[in-house]
Structure 1
Amino acid sequence: MDLRESADIALFRASVREFIAHLVPGDWRGIGALSPTGWRDFTARARTALAELGWVAPAWPAEYGSAELGPAERIALGEELVQAGILTGAEHDAFGISVLGNTMLHHGLPELCRRYRAWSPVSTFSARASPDPVPGRDIGGIRGALPGYHICLQILSR
């Protein structure tokens, strides 16, 4: 097994470093060095810049605005962002993208996926599973995966 990085991945990694160089100031010491206000401002700016390249949810299908990166590219992207002291996700991404977003991709209607992309102006995703008086009912384009339960998806805009 050859574990060396391919030329394509090295080129992609260089493009990520160039992106970071344009994103952060010359005296950048990482996200942890910012004040709470500076943190919020930088995070919003970084997320917008990442979204423009389809890097917020980089493995999602391109039809929803993602870069649809492969595993090696996603690793390179994550490594470079972490080494530069830049958060790889926003406050609710672990649940919003990983759980709810992937639930929408698997069970949701395409219109729903296009409307609530991971990088849309959304501040909070929340969900709950609760007993469903009408099993199998479609809730906002997502069918409950648990028999007798439905998924209630609440999306709050900024």
Structure 2
Amino acid sequence: MQLEFSPEEIAFQQEVRTFIAENYPENLRSVQDEGHDLSKEDFLSWHRILAKKGWIAPAWPVEYGGTGWTATQRFIWSEELAAADCVGTMPFGLSMVGPVIYTFGTPEQKAQFLPGILSGDDWWCQGYSEPGAGSDLASLRTKAVRDGDHYVVNGQKTWTTMAQHADWGFFLVRTDSDAKAQEGISFLLINMKTPGVTVRPIITLGGEHEVNEVWLEDVRVPVANRIYEENKGWTCAKFLLAHERTGIAAVARSKRGVEKIKSIARTEQDGDRPLIANPF
């Protein structure tokens, strides 16, 4: 087994390093170094640079805007981003709903939603968890009733990350209360500016506003915004979660975090020896 990079891969690694060094926003680096909370515009400043370069969605198929990189190139990319302490791109559009749309969506849905995800013009949030449906997601109660060319949606979602910034959200809703739990769910795309959508902040113990509760009261959603078949949204949900859970591991960033901790432990003293030498 060959575990060393090929000459072509080493050249790609250098290309990536050079690009990051020359293009990562200085003001964003300052915000990070000073420990300030990142704003929506902070995240989007880097997103737009990557989108212009064509590197915003390495894992997407080329026909939808992906890079066509090999698995090794994507590994190098993630390692270099972590090594340079670049902020992560928001996953809700790129890593979650985007793959659902290009896999299960109609040609019209792909044309409507994928460009905005790639450009960063549309910020997405995830409407999955509910107060009584977290680990048991299939027990969700948010209900969507068909009314002509629309669904009327009522319910509540919670722990909705960055919903305060979102333009769109992807929601699991119950469209058949009599069916088996997993078979009565549909997958809807909802414009967060639609009348009846209310986002209320949940302030964490650290005083941060990252998560929210989202209330939906008689929200009218076009049937055209349903992905895949009615009552078959669980198929989309499982597919999305597979992408989410593999991406959320953030292996490269986790390795970088461990390296930082080790570096601190080597320089900080515990009495007459460095912290790293103290097993306790």
Correspondence for 2:100 among 98, 103, 118: 103
1:115-142 Cα deviation digits (max 9, x unpaired): 3223230122422222225xxxxxxxxx
Question: TM-score of the superposition, structure 2-length normalised?
Answer: 0.44
Question: What aligned pairs does 1:70-81 form with structure 2 within 5 A after superposition?
Answer: 70-81=70-81
Question: TM-score of the superposition, structure 1-length normalised?
Answer: 0.73
2-structure distance, mates of 1:131, 1:152: 10
1:6-32 Cα deviation digits (max 9, x unpaired): 222211111111111211368996763
Runs of 4+ in 1 over 3 A off after TM superposition: 24-31, 34-42
Contact 2:54 2:65 in 1 (8 A): yes
Greater share of residues in strand:
2
Name whichever of 38-47 and 53-62 sits farther off: 38-47
2-structure distance, mates of 1:109, 1:63: 15
The verdict on how the C-alpha distance between 1:31 and 1:7 changes in structure 2, with shifts beyond 3 A counting, is: farther
1:151 paired to 2:182: no
Contact 1:122 1:156 in 2 (8 A): no
Contact 1:56 1:119 in 2 (8 A): yes
Match of 2:118 in 1: 119
The verdict on how the C-alpha distance between 1:97 and 1:36 changes in structure 2, with shifts beyond 3 A counting, is: same
Partner letter of residue 17 of structure 1?
R
1:10 paired to 2:10: yes
Instruction: Compute the RMSD of aligned alpha carbons.
Output: 2.9
2-structure distance, mates of 1:71, 1:9: 11
1:10-61 Cα deviation digits (max 9, x unpaired): 1111111111121136899676315648765543221111112222221112
Partner letter of residue 129 of structure 1?
L
Secondary structure at 2:171 match in 1: strand
The verdict on how the C-alpha distance between 1:147 and 1:44 changes in structure 2, with shifts beyond 3 A counting, is: same
Contact 2:64 2:102 in 1 (8 A): no
Contact 1:50 1:56 in 2 (8 A): yes
Correspondence for 2:173 among 123, 127, 130: 130
Residue ranges of structure 1 left out of the alignment (5+ in a row): 134-145
Partner letter of residue 22 of structure 2?
H
The verdict on how the C-alpha distance between 1:27 and 1:112 changes in structure 2, with shifts beyond 3 A counting, is: closer
Partner letter of residue 109 of structure 1?
T
Question: CA offset at residue 2 of structure 1?
Answer: 0.8
The verdict on how the C-alpha distance between 1:85 and 1:99 changes in structure 2, with shifts beyond 3 A counting, is: same
Question: CA offset at residue 65 of structure 1?
Answer: 2.1
1-structure distance, mates of 2:112, 2:46: 21
Q: Percent identity?
A: 27
1:131-156 Cα deviation digits (max 9, x unpaired): 225xxxxxxxxxxxx53321111255
Name whichever of 40-49 and 81-90 sits farther off: 40-49
**Bigger Rg, which one:** 2
- Count of residue correspondences: 142
